A and B are shown apart, each in its own frame.
Chain A
């Protein structure tokens, strides 16, 4: 339900407090995402035109299979995974007050990746549904380790958290490289593809395995939103305003772990999305708290679906990984965004 909150220019959407303009931009982004997802149903080896998707046309067997068994779950999975990673990046940037923080930089993504990697090597027949749980355990291990190390003082830990995270990330990346080096050749190759970012395993099963973890993270996101708004003021101010820093830090890290693990299991790390998407969302509309998470998530999802379209549309034998397509698409937009932001400041 949506209703106007008098005097504040805020709108309440199912309990999600947002400015009217936040809501407007979110709706526009949602429209873009929906259009892209529908458009992505027409990209692939089996010819499917937009008109074929109309109720009056009807799909033949091959089209039915391509659209409903492959492309639709792939697009939805890509969108949700992109949204999850982007929202994680936004949360960590607010938590650390650092514009380059993302799940990869703090080692949370690497913790998930390494755990999943070891499961793939030693338990190759493990059902796919278990992988998010294993990834979550890996990411949670890193989060608890970081939380424990930074739990001693009340404030001023944002930089320490970032530096410790960087150290953990470097260590886990080194271990991951060694594991890949010593893994069976075929698996090493498959892992390399996954690490480069890939959606080719993203069927309904993968989507189903991802959804419970995303659902679990929603209440945390809801709680974390107002905390992030305060944390963006600085930890001392947030504490002075009554925010329990340890609890806030743990809530944000836990939400980030859940979101990142769920996404990374299917798509791989999708490097840079967690940094890029919140900045682009921030350029479209400066916001904070829940609105920032929502807008960042929508931008992240849109970029992943667009990257997937580019990957599938490039040709039959080439098949660039999504991660690379994401970089090809996103980085120019990111650079232009930063440039425009700089210009905006000088004017």
Chain B
């Protein structure tokens, strides 16, 4: 292309302001950026399927695109979190993919014609590119004080869906009351911990439905000696836990989960994984020997959504019944 043609084009691209957006609300996102968000966004794209997409779909929101899915809406990951958490029939139209894992395709994203893009704090490196396509709101999902389904509540506010969130909360409260009634003893003052087995063991932090459910039931997070708050390089989702420390855990209730990166996540597979990482754990871990462990499908309960918390409550009821 001739220089005299290219230069003005480049300059025009550089000088052009981001898209002229329709009037809407001005919000400040979690990275401190002012974002003009449409009153009722209709074509939302999220950059993270389980942490941002599932919470929105759970309150009846609609997504046109989601990072981590194929062109036809299939999941690129081993687990389809939409199917697993919300059910196969919960969403009539699957959000379309916006590129392969690790390399978002901005052209594909733009072709979806979004009116709002919701990303996480980890997208701050590409926020300029995203904001050229549509208003981009960055929501904290792993750093700062993000707890339980606060992410979902925050997203409901961004989308103007506070009423839908409140309605889901009512349903959740009913499920919570039902679970409390099913438990044999009062849970106030009792402690809990949640451990997930990837290739190593991780103590699940604060951003997940299972944490919200356990704490809403009255359990308090047990203190782990030798593992201060803030460990894990800023992550509050999963803090590394050594097998030796794992063996010494003794909360009143211990939730054990196998990694959501695999297809096998039931009790048998969780036990097998733990046997590999901490051989002999079943004979030494007190909650296990005393019947205080609950096995839960990690893929169902790891999203920061009411639906995940409800799955956790269901697992607790099942454990209590046994």
Contact = CB atoms under 8 A, between A and B. Distances in A.
B275 to A, nearest CB: 22
Contacts of B20: none
A179 B233 contact: yes
A14 to B, nearest CB: 18
Contact of A192 (B48, B102, B125, B129): B102
B100 A319 contact: yes
Given A125-B31, A179-B233, A190-B122, A316 B107 contact: no
Nearest to B97: A317
Q: Which of B10, B108, B110, B125 has the most CB of A within 10 A?
A: B125
Interface stretch (B1-9, B178-186, B212-220): B1-9
A310 interface: no
Interface in A59-74: 62, 64-66, 68-70, 72
A184 interface: yes
Interface string B250-292: 0000000000000000000000000000000000000000000
Q: Which of B10, B48, B106, B237 has the most CB of A within 10 A?
A: B106
Nearest to A71: B107
Interface string A74-111: 00000000000000000000000000000000000000
Contacts of B101: 189, 193, 319
A319 B31 CA distance: 29
A182 B315 CA distance: 29
A318 B101 CA distance: 8
Interface string A183-208: 11111011011001010110111000
A46 B149 CA distance: 37
B148 interface: no
B140 to A, nearest CB: 9
21 contacts: A45-B108, A64-B13, A65-B132, A65-B133, A68-B12, A122-B233, A124-B122, A125-B31, A128-B128, A181-B240, A182-B240, A183-B234, A185-B237, A186-B51, A186-B120, A190-B102, A204-B14, A205-B128, A317-B76, A317-B99, A319-B102
7 closest A-B pairs (Cβ-Cβ)?
Answer: A319-B100, A193-B102, A184-B235, A68-B13, A45-B107, A200-B103, A319-B103
Interface of A: 38, 41, 44-46, 53, 55, 62, 64-66, 68-70, 72, 120-122, 124-126, 128, 179, 181-187, 189-190, 192-193, 196, 198, 200-201, 203-205, 311, 316-319, 321
Interface of B: 1-2, 5, 9-10, 12-14, 31-32, 48, 51, 70-71, 76, 97, 99-108, 110-111, 120-122, 124-126, 128-129, 132-133, 141-143, 200, 232-235, 237-238, 240
